Structure 1
Amino acid sequence: MVEAQEWTRIVTRVLAPNPGPMTLDGTNSLVIRSAESETSVVVDPGPDDGHIDTLLGLGPVELILLTHHHIDHTESAERLSAVTGAPVRAVDPLLCRGGEPLHDGELLLAAGTRIEVVATPGHTADSVSFFLPEDASSITEHPGSMITGDTILGRGTTIIARPDGSLADYFRSLDHLAAFGAIAVVPAHGPMLADLADVCRRYASHRRERLTSITAVLSALGLPPTTDPGTVTAVVDAVYDDVPTEVRFAAEASTLAQLEYLADHTGG
């Protein structure tokens, strides 16, 4: 059975055995439960494999939440719902089972605690984060934590997953998250981080540096910011020349999103 690890006062991480270039160590399935509660909330139950037994072993589940539609987060949600009777809720109505779609600013009362829904589109259009105001962690003195899905990762940076990802939305989501301050970051891949506001600033800075590099490449080649395949290839070859072959598709997806952003914001 996969080991469960207490990450914060009310969040336990169960690491799905699906490591890879895009999933890092694997998908972090997160179990929320206060000390006073007999039931829990599972966020991103993950792929349909052996770690589900660990999730079930942590006690009754009253609610299943999804941060976005990617299969490494959602595949086992329907089975977990069938076994536990817990509804599945997500931004996308097609992912919901026995529950309504999530809405930005909605306050959920479950597992003996408060869970605030924070819409964070950008990685995907349906990406959402969850603010736990009553949580606490040893990695920061600031109360509260934020479950960020793939919007913020424990290592590296996320991709803007076209066709529904948007860099403009992503910048707005980073600004939104930064306003919650120096609280703990609980990501869907990789380790926890100590300062949400600082991470958001670094993520935004990284994206703007990439935009500057892409603009310089376009200028040198005399190309406009378009999503023409030849332009994408030229930019990826120049800006992402150190990216391993197995994740080049991710660099291409991010480049497409950045070219779209430049086209919209420079009149190209």
Structure 2
Amino acid sequence: MSGDQGSVAGVPRQVTPLAAVLLAPNPGPMTLDGTNTWLLRAPGHTSAVVVDPGPDLPEHLDAIAAAGPIALILLTHGHSDHSAGAAALHQRTGAPVRALDPAHRLGDEGLAAGDVVARPGLELRVLPTPGHTADSLSFLLTGADTDAAVLTGDTILGRGSTVVAHPDGRLGDYLDSLRLLRELGETTVLPGHGPELPAAGAAARHYLAHRHTRLEQVRAALAAMGVEPARADAAEVVRRVYADTDRALWLAAELSVRAQLAYLRDHPTLP
């Protein structure tokens, strides 16, 4: 299965001097071409850091292990299309699994905002980017004589928009996370799904504008329905606001609408 960024499932593709992507064979409406598993290593070094081992599929885990040796496994968040393969990869390689959520850790260390994960020739700074989920993190990747890149999980995708997975995900948190990523300017985005993007700042601005437009559309739908956010039927809002969206995505859209309604309850006047 080929992705539109040139990735082929099971075959690592070098994207930056420090980062290669390995596409998982789990394409779908929510996963686009599949989950991007990232293999991070500095030139001249053998051991790799794996970010998001993806689904628990033996052929994908075989491909990750073959690209090793694997020293460390990091998770951007706990959704199964990013994390389900972590335990099996840990068993194969002995590499610890670090995550914000203790339920997904395998080893003595977790991850927290501001942590720096250092490996020979590279560093990963942990950025708190909740909103898609409460446990969502991004990783700012730097190394000697290379431009920075940011691994964003599902906070910014390579194509389309992401779901704010209410009630675990909160729209206010998500907007704050986008504003944080906007400050990264020309930093390359290495997303959890879809192709890499050239500039985090531009991508975050696009996402912020999209969210503002959706909020205005939801407010207009509520006005037409004659209801307040607290009393609105989220499914009916989806039918009105997402009428031109593939119906396969309507259940996901309903999660985002529930997050939008909760936000509008707390923010009756949009900025």
TM-score, structure 2 normalization: 0.92
Q: 1:93 aligns with which of 102, 125, 145?
A: 102
* CA distance in 2 between partners of 1:53 and 1:199 (Å): 33
1:62–1:111 contact (8 Å) kept in structure 2: no
Query: Match for residue 82 of structure 1?
Result: 91
Contact map agreement 1:44 1:65 (CA 8 A) in 2: yes
Q: What is the one-letter code of the residue matched to 1:9?
A: P
Query: Measured at CA, do residues 262 and 179 of structure 1 come closer, stay the same or move farther in structure 2, by a change above 3 Å?
Result: same
Question: 1:136 & 1:224 partners in 2: Cα distance?
Answer: 54
- 1:233, distance to aligned residue in structure 2 (A): 2.2
Q: Which amino acid is the alignment partner of residue 51 of structure 1? A: H
The residue that corresponds to 1:220 in the other structure is 224
Give the paired residue count: 260
RMSD of aligned alpha carbons: 1.5
Q: Secondary structure at the match of 2:233?
A: helix
- Paired position in structure 1 for 2:200: 196
5+ long unaligned stretches in structure 2: 1-8
Instruction: Specify the alignment match of 1:260 in structure 2.
Output: 262
- Per-residue deviation, 1:124: 0.1
Shift of 1:99: 3.2
> 1:209 & 1:103 partners in 2: Cα distance?
32
**Structure 2 counterpart of 1:112:** 121
Q: CA deviation at 1:203?
A: 0.1
CA distance in 2, matches of 1:30, 1:185: 12
d(CA) in 1 for partners of 2:228, 2:36: 40
Q: Which residue of 2 aligns with 1:14?
A: 22
Question: Which segment drifts farther, 127-136 or 12-21?
Answer: 127-136
Structure 1: unaligned runs, 5 residues or longer:
138-142
Which residue identity lines up with residue 40 of structure 2 in the other structure? I
The 8 Å contact of residues 28 and 187 in structure 1, kept in 2 or not, is answered as yes
Give the TM-score, by structure 1 length: 0.93
Structure 1 stretches of at least 4 aligned residues deviating more than 6 Å after TM superposition: none
Q: Distance in 1 between matches of 2:120 and 2:49?
A: 6
Residue identity (%)? 46
String of CA shifts for 1:206-251, please: whole Å, max 9, x gaps: 000010111111112211012x4x5212211110012222221011
Superposed CA offset, 1:83-102 (max 9, x none): 11110000001100013220
Deviation per CA, 1:165-208, whole angstroms, max 9, x where unpaired?
Answer: 00000000001111121110000100000110011001000000
Instruction: Report whether the alignment pairs 1:250 with 2:249.
Output: no
